[in-house]
Amino acid sequence: MGIKVLTVDSGADVRHLIETRLKKAGYAVIAAANGDDAAQLAQAEQPDVVISGVRLPGLDGLALTRRLKDQPNAPLVILLTILVDDHHIAAGFEAGADDYLTKPFSPLVLIERLRVNLIRSGLSQSIPKTDKEAADE
């Protein structure tokens, strides 16, 4: 079974971009438009990774991160936001985020940061192979 990623962002365009790029990279992706739906999906679907905005309708990204990290077998959490000052970045890590990226973002960098976090967490055997890696086998 591959890596399952839940992406949550209030912007449909951002959700679509992340979902499209992650699926193309070989990840299973589910999406939510707000923190409340994301919390319910995370409970039901048990994703390996959650990529979340911080400013979300309902449950915000920091509260969502805290809730997710309080669970057994907590997913990795990558926060993706326009909030770039030190205070917001520190608050994200304090909430339990495993990584923090700022918008605008490069989908390529997001995927590579995802891969690095999966390797660090011991899930490297489940990471989809890149086209180059598959060709080298």
Residue range 82-117, pLDDT digits in tens: 988 899 999 999 999 999 999 999 999 999 999 999
Tokens of 65: 């991160």
Q: Pick the range with the lowest mean pLDDT from 46-55, 84-93, 122-131.
A: 122-131
> Which residues have a Cβ under 8 Å from the Cβ of 67 and sit 6 or more positions away?
39, 59
In the prediction, which pLDDT does 124 show?
Answer: 73
Q: Give the span between the Cα atoms of 103 and 107, in whole angstroms.
A: 11
Domains by residue range for the chain, with CATH: 4-124 (3.40.50.2300)
Compute the distance between CA of residue 42 and CA of residue 6 in angstroms, rounded to an integer.
Answer: 7
Q: Which of 104, 95, 126 is nearest to 17 (CA)?
A: 104
Per-residue confidence (pLDDT) for residue 135, from 0 to 100: 33
Q: What span, in angstroms and rounded, lies between the C-alpha atoms of 26 and 21? A: 9
pTM above 0.85, yes or no: yes
The angle, 0 to 180 degrees and rounded to 10, between the axes of the packed helices 61-69 and 86-95 is 30
CA distance 95 to 80: 14
